[in-house]
Structure 1
């Protein structure tokens, strides 16, 4: 269910409160929610996931991203969250794609190579080719 991109981050489709407990048991230190509220009927709210994360001893950050695209502010917020995580992060959205995209863009700001990021994403089952030209320092 959690797709490991590298030792610092895994991504997932929408998670449940129970998934937060599993994430804590697997050693994750932070949950990053990249899904907007009420994107789909019946999805758990960010507040529910945040409270589950706190109860499990995990940090929680919400960086909602709509299908409309990414802003530099969101990419910088992701970069900052990853830097402050203190260990492995679990990021989620509807399918894991937006979380993977914003991770790759954030790592690109840090100077990571676009080809290396694409290879890591592909190994986890994600294709970052739509955003690959955008990866790099700004």
Structure 2
């Protein structure tokens, strides 16, 4: 599993399997957020499979699906912010590559921390979200 830490509360990863949910629990994660819509790719585990594995491992699971490409809808950003406020941490969010989860986190953090700090944290995790910096500044 390729887990990349964005901050003390959230790490992101590419698509995980139900078996990797158990591994995430063993690593200390207490909740999972799926940002990938079901059926996006052949053979992709469904959210129901991930959620079932999460419950079996004692983790909470939440689905906030966002289509690939473009910016996520405002509602998804608000749901991500709410999930990060409500779910026990640390939280592991995933999508196909981790990029959508990172973008959702970044937009949810706008106004809570400086844009440069958000961009730097994403860069350190291997995600270049520098083009979002103006949006992160305006939201602050």
**TM-score bracket, shorter-length normalisation:** over 0.9
Return the alpha-carbon distance in structure 2 between the equivalents of residues 130 and 97 of structure 1.
13
Return the alpha-carbon distance in structure 2 between the equivalents of residues 6 and 123 of structure 1.
10
Which of 97, 100, 103 is residue 102 of structure 2 equivalent to?
100
> Could you list the runs of 5+ residues in structure 2 that have no partner in the other structure?
none
Q: How many residues align?
A: 137
TM-score, with structure 1 as normaliser: 0.94
Does residue 117 of the first structure (1) align with residue 118 of the second (2)?
A: yes
Give the C-alpha shift of residue 30 in structure 1.
0.8
Report runs of 4+ in structure 1 exceeding 4 Å deviation.
none
Does residue 33 of the first structure (1) align with residue 34 of the second (2)?
A: yes
1:90 is aligned to 92
Report the 3-state secondary structure (helix = DSSP H, G, I; strand = E; otherwise coil) of the residue aligned with 2:110.
helix
TM-score, with structure 2 as normaliser: 0.93
RMSD over equivalenced CA pairs, Å: 1.2
1:74 is aligned to 76
Give the C-alpha shift of residue 64 in structure 1.
0.4
Give the C-alpha shift of residue 130 in structure 1.
2.8
Give the C-alpha shift of residue 29 in structure 1.
1.1
Give the C-alpha shift of residue 131 in structure 1.
2.1
> What does the per-residue CA deviation read over 1:31-53, in whole Å, with 9 as the maximum and x for residues that have no partner?
00000111110000010001101
Return the alpha-carbon distance in structure 2 between the equivalents of residues 86 and 37 of structure 1.
24
1:49 is aligned to 50
Report the 3-state secondary structure (helix = DSSP H, G, I; strand = E; otherwise coil) of the residue aligned with 1:6.
coil
1:64 is aligned to 65
> What does the per-residue CA deviation read over 1:44-94, in whole Å, with 9 as the maximum and x for residues that have no partner?
001000110111111111000002431111000000000012211100000
